Amino acid sequence: MVRKLKTIAGLGWSRGPSSAQETEGSAANLAIALAQSEAAILWSTDADGRIASIHAPALAALGVQLADVSGKRITSVFEDAPSDSAISQQRSLSLKLSARAKITNHIVRCVNKNEEGAGVWLQLSGFPHYLGDQFVGYLGHAADVTHLIVDHQTKMLQEKFDEVTNFYNAAHFGKRFDAAFKSLAHAERPCALVVMEIDRFQHACERYGIGHMDCVLAEMGNRLRSALRHRGEVGRIATEQFRIFMPDVDDRGDLAEFAEHAGKLLSQPYRVHGRRIQLSVSIGIAMAPYDAVTTTELVDAANLALRSTKQSGGGSYSIFSAELAEEASRLVRIEQELEGAMERGEFALRYAPLISAGSNEVCALRAEVCWNSPELGEVLPDIFWPMIESSGASGDFGEWMLRQACEDASAWPGNLSLAISPPRGFLKDPDFRKIILAAASDASFDRARIELEISEEFLSADAEMAKRLGDDLDAVGVRLVASDFGVGNSAIALLADFSFKRVEISPRFVRDWVLQPERTNAILGAIVSIARSFGVPASIREVDALDVLDAVIASGIEVVHGGVFSAPLDQAQIVDEGSVVLQTFRPRGFARQRAERMTVLRKIGLVHDDHYYEVLLKNISRTGAKIAGIAGVPVGTEVVLDLGNGQLAVASVVNTDEKSQGVRFEVPLVSDGNGGLMTRHRISPYTLAEAGLPVASLSGDHEALRAWKDAKKGKPSFVQLQLTHL
């Protein structure tokens, strides 16, 4: 080709002196020769790097006109491949031109698009041309390698990316995760790993088909990108699982907010070819170096948090804590004891009175399951109910609930309805209608008094199944109640499609009321207004304080139940002569709603004036705690609570007596997504390692944490009490 260029241009290669006329003539001859040549792509520049000529037949393929590029710098017409691509050159085209170096097989992209609107890739070769000792420009040739580059890029994409979601595939994400983790650890910077799994994905694939679910996954990927906002990298690790690596994150509150926002966003309905598909996601989160100091440990910790979420029923998130491993072992034991518990007669029903807000009289009783295990004692429904929901025996359990409740309710006063919320497996039983008919008939109980509670999320997840359920209930005369109402986006559609006896607003709004009363009041009022426009009354549960009761009644809610009126009742309390259910209930309880508190009873530390005390944590909420174990503490004293595993909470004493104190946190705690509370930040293991100890994840026996506690030996200001006497 070099020889051909010489021939076409008619130029000699002497480095001797040459006149201006000779140079101009040579350039003219070159332009004419190139224009007449049938060669693929031939090009030349002047001494300043401006295009002197391009072989005319090739211009159309490049999507340019000669007049558009003539006189322009070649680097403005052809650009280098991106520096992070596999085809980028070590030295740029501009650098080679300025150095007057030989150009060999340099890959460039034409800035203009071709007629099909696609980019054209060329492989340029060329050499500097001299007339005598004077540099006059470049002569070169090029080949169109677009198809080779496109094939290469496609192959590279397939090797790195998942074709459905365009996230990294498992292999490439693993490489990037390992490299990024090592880099951050070397720089002593934190990071987080979020593991996200689609609940009941295989069931959805069987129901809707792989094609529909691929469309859902593609849209789910777009939503996840929107929620993430470039704060991390995502990999699709398995059919239904994603991992998100987030660098420079050490605020668990931010992670909780992200998980909650992403969970809500991904759980909104998907429209695919006219079908409405709704899914939920479970999320597990762990952080390095707090929870792990290697990639393997971090993955294990995040997976343990994910498993905790799924064991709690899914559709939520859990943030790893040191207690999760212990909790996981405990849950395994509970699952083992749960098997056969129904046959052993360990379950019983209690009934929570539903109170008419206008008269304070009982209008219905809601069945609630209690489990008193000989081995475990009383197990809370929040723990065992998700296990029942996910077990293969949920249908049988639902039938037992309905039969037992109908038998009990047949002895109640005739004006009381029976509200019952069976597990989902029972609702999916093909003999659902027959079981209801048999249960009511065997107990001689009027089916019209049964109020079957089904969650808004369940009704909106599968329109066909929901319609079938509604038709079955109408056919047997059972009334339908939408529970956990108002947290999704399907409220109006459900009210239009179903005939509800009432809607039970999600108790989440009761829990939110203490933190955002004005906002919660507005939401409650809006939900009640929408329901009333369809002629449906609203109810709410878990109301325990008088100020919340006043607020929900003011919003228009007509039926209330919770501790403010009565705890759940045994059957004997209901049917005894002079039964409480025949009385008018007078509200009682706390005057003001407090942040949800958990009774814990465990030892923690308290630091004041550089002295470390041991105290007993009696209960805790987002905003404060009750402690015991020191005396002589005045109101207003600032202290630091050591909640364990590097969690330090600054607090001030707001009330005190001889043995205990109530404290308010300077910064509210955040939810771990699994029923617990945690501080937003922790002591960094990198900071602890400055004491000369190896970097290790935080745990109760962390050597540096023990050394930190032992160093707090300042003069005590308060009296340390013996915790065994409290």
Question: Residue 490: CA atoms inside 13 Å, Cβ hemisphere, count?
Answer: 26
**Gap between the Cα atoms of 99 and 294, Å rounded:** 47
Q: What is the pLDDT of residue 179?
A: 95
Give the count of domains, the chain.
4
Q: What is the CA radius of gyration of the chain?
A: 36
pLDDT band per the 50, 70, 90 thresholds, residue 155: confident
Q: What is the pLDDT of residue 115?
A: 53
Q: Give the CATH number for residue 288.
A: 3.30.70.270
Last residue of a domain, one of 521, 555, 582: 582
Write the pLDDT tens digit of every residue in 461-499.
Answer: 777 888 888 889 999 999 999 999 987 767 788 888 899
pLDDT band per the 50, 70, 90 thresholds, residue 221: very high
Same domain membership, residue 66 and residue 28: yes
Helix (H, G, I), strand (E, B) or coil at 659: coil
Q: Which 8-state DSSP code applies to residue 548?
A: H
Same domain membership, residue 213 and residue 302: yes
Write the pLDDT tens digit of every residue in 516-525.
Answer: 888 889 999 9
Helix (H, G, I), strand (E, B) or coil at 173: helix
Is 675 among the domain residues? yes
pLDDT band per the 50, 70, 90 thresholds, residue 693: low
Q: What is the pLDDT of residue 588?
A: 83
Is 334 among the domain residues? no
Q: What is the pLDDT of residue 308?
A: 87
Range of the domain at 519: 347-582
Mean pLDDT for 627-638 is 93
**Gap between the Cα atoms of 284 and 255, Å rounded:** 10
Other C-beta atoms closer than 10 Å to the C-beta of 277 total 20
Given a cut of 80, whether residue 246 has pLDDT beyond it is yes
Same domain membership, residue 47 and residue 187: no
Q: What is the pLDDT of residue 383?
A: 83
pLDDT band per the 50, 70, 90 thresholds, residue 512: confident
Given a cut of 90, whether residue 591 has pLDDT beyond it is no
Question: Residue 344: CA atoms inside 13 Å, Cβ hemisphere, count?
Answer: 11
Is 328 among the domain residues? no
Same domain membership, residue 620 and residue 562: no
pLDDT band per the 50, 70, 90 thresholds, residue 624: very high
pLDDT, greater one: 276 or 18 = 276
- 502 residue type, one letter: R
Given a cut of 70, whether residue 323 has pLDDT beyond it is yes
pLDDT, greater one: 714 or 555 = 555
Q: Give the CATH number for residue 139.
A: 3.30.450.20
pLDDT band per the 50, 70, 90 thresholds, residue 82: confident
Q: What is the pLDDT of residue 635?
A: 94
> Contact, 443 vs 407, CB < 8 A?
yes
pLDDT band per the 50, 70, 90 thresholds, residue 334: confident
Same domain membership, residue 608 and residue 721: yes
pLDDT above 70 as % of the chain: 86
The closest of 6, 62, 65, 1 to 30, measured between CA atoms, is: 6
Same domain membership, residue 173 and residue 73: no
DSSP H or E stretch at residue 25? helix 20-36
> Contact, 119 vs 77, CB < 8 A?
no
> Contact, 538 vs 571, CB < 8 A?
no
Given a cut of 60, whether residue 34 has pLDDT beyond it is no
Write the pLDDT tens digit of every residue in 560-586.
Answer: 999 889 889 999 888 875 566 677 888
Given a cut of 80, whether residue 356 has pLDDT beyond it is yes
pTM here? 0.62
Given a cut of 50, whether residue 35 has pLDDT beyond it is no
Write the pLDDT tens digit of every residue in 163-180.
Answer: 899 999 999 999 999 999
Strand partners, 628: 616, 660
Is 337 among the domain residues? no
Q: Which residue has the tokens 């659902």?
A: 432
pLDDT above 90 as % of the chain: 48
Helix (H, G, I), strand (E, B) or coil at 522: helix
Other C-beta atoms closer than 10 Å to the C-beta of 56 total 14
Last residue of a domain, one of 152, 180, 196: 152
Same domain membership, residue 306 and residue 235: yes
Q: What is the pLDDT of residue 190?
A: 95
Same domain membership, residue 653 and residue 541: no
Given a cut of 70, whether residue 327 has pLDDT beyond it is yes
Is 333 among the domain residues? no
Mean pLDDT for 529-554 is 92
Pairing of strands 417-420, 611-620: unpaired
Same domain membership, residue 190 and residue 146: no
Q: Which residue has the tokens 């602890």?
A: 688
Helix (H, G, I), strand (E, B) or coil at 97: helix
Is 123 among the domain residues? yes
> Contact, 217 vs 163, CB < 8 A?
no
The closest of 225, 305, 236 to 258, measured between CA atoms, is: 225
Q: Give the CATH number for residue 533.
A: 3.20.20.450
What ranges in 103-209 are assigned the alpha helix state H?
Answer: 146-160, 170-186, 201-208
**Gap between the Cα atoms of 212 and 217, Å rounded:** 9
Is 709 among the domain residues? yes
In terms of Cβ atoms closer than 10 Å to its own Cβ (0-12, 13-18, 19+), residue 174 is middle
pLDDT, greater one: 270 or 687 = 270
Pairing of strands 660-665, 624-628: antiparallel
Phi, psi dihedrals of residue 613, rounded to the nearest 5°: -110, 155
Last residue of a domain, one of 582, 612, 642: 582
**Gap between the Cα atoms of 305 and 678, Å rounded:** 14
Worst-scoring range by mean pLDDT, 70-74, 573-577, 597-601? 597-601
Same domain membership, residue 450 and residue 409: yes
Write the pLDDT tens digit of every residue in 637-672.
Answer: 999 999 888 898 999 999 998 889 999 999 999 988
**Gap between the Cα atoms of 180 and 594, Å rounded:** 43
Worst-scoring range by mean pLDDT, 92-101, 383-392, 611-620? 383-392
Is 381 among the domain residues? yes
User: b/e map of 200-229 (b: 16 or more CB within 10 Å)?
Assistant: bbeebbeebeeebbebbbebbbeebeebbe
The closest of 501, 491, 483 to 523, measured between CA atoms, is: 491
Mean pLDDT for 210-215 is 93
Same domain membership, residue 452 and residue 573: yes
Mean pLDDT for 404-409 is 96
Q: Give the CATH number for residue 697.
A: 2.40.10
Q: CA quadruple 384, 389, 394, 395: dihedral positive or negative? A: positive
The full DSSP string for 210-252 is: HHHHHHHHHHHHHHHHHHHTTSSEEEEEETTEEEEEEES---H
Same domain membership, residue 556 and residue 445: yes
Given a cut of 80, whether residue 680 has pLDDT beyond it is yes
